[in-house]
Structure 1
Amino acid sequence: MKKQVSILGCGWLGLPLARHLLKNGWKVKGSTTSSDKIQVLEAEGINSFIIELLEDKVAGYIRSFLENSELLIIDIPPGLRRDPNSDFIAKLKKLTEAISESKINKILYVSSTGVFDDHESNPSFTEHYNFTQREVENSQLVQAEQLLLNLKKIQTSVIRFGGLIGNDRHPVKYLAGKTGIKNPKAPVNLIHLDNCILLISEIIQQNKFGEIFHGVEDIKLSKEDYYSKKAKELSLPIPEFDHETTSEGKEISMAWTTRILGVKLEKRL
């Protein structure tokens, strides 16, 4: 009997991930918020649902979406940049109510290295960094992780990815030719789509739940050096950086993730 996974959010990462799991023998249920995308998902062999998290409810057939799945992968953007006043935690709490009524016993939550603040000292953050109370209170991203990690009777793993690259998606295309770009000395924390799928599949195959993982590639260049180099490689206008204001950033360590999963990421950036 095939194992079944429900992927909440079959978007830029979720859809290729669904394809990968299908090829590896999983039955996949996938969600989208767009009716136009249902046919796309169905054509891939994904049992598709329109699901949307709202602050007062989960819109859509959430019980059917979760039914008979042992694993739920949550890969939905919090949307806080677009709407800073959005209550992402309220939305997740409505989701956890539905989860508690299902047979889901494992969750993999796709998070972001954005949980960590930038600093002038460019600190290195590990998978087991302990957030201060102020950091928790000021960040819905941190609160979301803690909400899911603390669910009873469910093993949750969190994977924090850096900026996502791949499928013709690269931030240098948005920075090319721009001026006054902040934080030229900041470290660069990015990861290619293929490496995201590699890490997620290893977590699932090795049954590494109840843990926190990081996913970033080893780029030993500053933000200015890296994007200037990339712009030249792609024959794009070189971005200009702001050297007048203090540069802030952070390094993301995935040494523990590499050791525990036994995986070394292929450099793709």
Structure 2
Amino acid sequence: MTEAQHAANGAAAPRLFCFGLGFSALALARRVMADGWAVAGTTRSDDKMAALAAEGIEVFPFDRERPREIPAAALAGATHLLSSIAPDEQGDPVIDCYGAALAGAEALQWVGYLSTTGVYGTRDGGWVDEDSDLHPSAARSRRRVQAEEAWLSAWRENRLLVHIFRLAGIYGPGRSMLDTVRAGKAKRIDRPGQVFSRIHVDDIASVLQASIARPNPGRVYNVCDDGPASPAEVTAYACSLLGVEPPPLVPLEEAGLSPMGLSFWSDNKRVSNRRLHEELGVDLRYPTYKAGLDALLADGH
């Protein structure tokens, strides 16, 4: 809904506050700003603050390790709130530092928390949906499960209108396999049966907007495209688009991945996105990685 529509309905002018103005949150922020919304949020980067302010975003520093107070008015006036900040070993920084303030923010009509499909762990290539048990493999994914529970507890106990979004691997302009191939860093790992799910950043924004239009507090949504695929397949396709020879297949143990990179390969599953289609009415703009990469290349990315 645009600002003019809110005014016509006698509602408060919409204002989005984003804890963590990263790749995904900014995709939503720029969408709603185009509709006349006010946007504010946080970043850990002092260098990024000026660039975001130049876009018309009111920016505040926030980092648990460098606590700096966000003015109460900045949160009190928010009608919608999105958190994309990852939990740390102490818990969820936003809930820990501002949970009480958010519980008392009467203007809030919608709250979104960006989690990860890593909370499901591995299923040896099998399917998971939002009702599947959570068996996270990595420590960071176990922290995500705890953070989800902290946000959902805020819904159950304080009626904070929380929605959980479990994101698959994110790609988009400047962050796709096309960029990896161009940088000469692409690898094709030979691991038969391994599949990952992924999602274009613009489709994340579409899902969030659809949820804002159809709020259902306490609900969880998987945010991924329609076609899980092997990483080697995606790499080969990106190479074909760029007209370069794909790198040779190599075993996982010989790929030279970092510990973080290796940890992603411990999970092997297909993630169902039926709920976002059926409940939110979302038609993905990029339902497969091929559609996404084709569009990125056509747009010069």
| TM-score, length of structure 2 as denominator length | 0.74
Q: 230-239 or 5-14: which moved more? A: 230-239
Looking at structure 2, the residues matched to 220 and 42 of structure 1 have their Cα atoms a distance apart, in angstroms, of 37
**CA apart distance, 1:105:** 5.5
Q: Is contact 2:120–2:132 with CA below 8 Å preserved after alignment?
A: no
Q: How many residues were matched structurally?
A: 260
Q: Which runs of 5+ in 2 are unaligned?
A: 1-11, 255-264, 287-291, 294-301
Pick aligned residue for 2:200 from 189, 192, 196: 192
Q: Is contact 2:40–2:57 with CA below 8 Å preserved after alignment?
A: yes
3-state secondary structure, aligned to 1:20:
helix
Alignment deviations for residues 70-126 of structure 1 (CA, whole Å, 9 cap, x no partner): 321001244x6xxxxx3344664223233234334532001111112124x312110
Q: 1:59–1:222: structure 2 CA closer, same or farther, 3 Å change rule? A: same
Q: 1:133–1:150: structure 2 CA closer, same or farther, 3 Å change rule? A: farther
Equivalence for 1:113: 117
Q: 1:197–1:137: structure 2 CA closer, same or farther, 3 Å change rule? A: closer
Alignment deviations for residues 2-36 of structure 1 (CA, whole Å, 9 cap, x no partner): 12121111122222321111112322112111222
More helix by share: 2
Looking at structure 2, the residues matched to 229 and 214 of structure 1 have their Cα atoms a distance apart, in angstroms, of 25
| Counterparts of residues 152-163 of structure 1 (less than 5 Å) | 152-163=158-169
Looking at structure 2, the residues matched to 138 and 162 of structure 1 have their Cα atoms a distance apart, in angstroms, of 13
Looking at structure 2, the residues matched to 26 and 156 of structure 1 have their Cα atoms a distance apart, in angstroms, of 20
Q: 1:171–1:58: structure 2 CA closer, same or farther, 3 Å change rule? A: farther
Equivalence for 1:229: 237
Q: Is contact 1:53–1:92 with CA below 8 Å preserved after alignment?
A: no
Looking at structure 2, the residues matched to 62 and 171 of structure 1 have their Cα atoms a distance apart, in angstroms, of 40
3-state secondary structure, aligned to 1:36:
helix
Equivalence for 2:99: 96
Equivalence for 1:63: 72
Q: Is contact 1:5–1:26 with CA below 8 Å preserved after alignment?
A: yes
Equivalence for 1:127: 130
Matched to 2:199, the amino acid is I
Q: Is contact 1:216–1:252 with CA below 8 Å preserved after alignment?
A: yes
- The answer as to 2:222 corresponding to 1:211 is no
Matched to 1:63, the amino acid is A
| Counterparts of residues 1-269 of structure 1 (less than 5 Å) | 1-54=12-65, 58-61=67-70, 63-78=72-87, 86-89=89-92, 92-103=95-106, 104=108, 106-119=110-123, 121-131=124-134, 139-151=142-154, 152-171=158-177, 173-174=179-180, 181=189, 183-219=191-227, 221-234=229-242, 235=244, 237-242=246-251, 249-267=268-286, 268-269=292-293
Looking at structure 1, the residues matched to 248 and 28 of structure 2 have their Cα atoms a distance apart, in angstroms, of 33
Looking at structure 2, the residues matched to 15 and 247 of structure 1 have their Cα atoms a distance apart, in angstroms, of 29
Q: 220-229 or 125-134: which moved more? A: 125-134
Q: Is contact 2:188–2:247 with CA below 8 Å preserved after alignment?
A: no
Equivalence for 2:296: none
CA RMSD in angstroms comes to 3.1
Looking at structure 1, the residues matched to 64 and 253 of structure 2 have their Cα atoms a distance apart, in angstroms, of 42
Looking at structure 1, the residues matched to 237 and 137 of structure 2 have their Cα atoms a distance apart, in angstroms, of 37
Q: Is contact 1:215–1:254 with CA below 8 Å preserved after alignment?
A: yes
- Identity within the alignment, %: 23
Q: 1:25–1:198: structure 2 CA closer, same or farther, 3 Å change rule? A: same
Looking at structure 2, the residues matched to 50 and 153 of structure 1 have their Cα atoms a distance apart, in angstroms, of 27
Looking at structure 1, the residues matched to 19 and 162 of structure 2 have their Cα atoms a distance apart, in angstroms, of 15
Q: Which runs of 5+ in 1 are unaligned?
A: 81-85
| TM-score, length of structure 1 as denominator length | 0.82
Looking at structure 2, the residues matched to 87 and 157 of structure 1 have their Cα atoms a distance apart, in angstroms, of 22
Looking at structure 2, the residues matched to 113 and 52 of structure 1 have their Cα atoms a distance apart, in angstroms, of 24
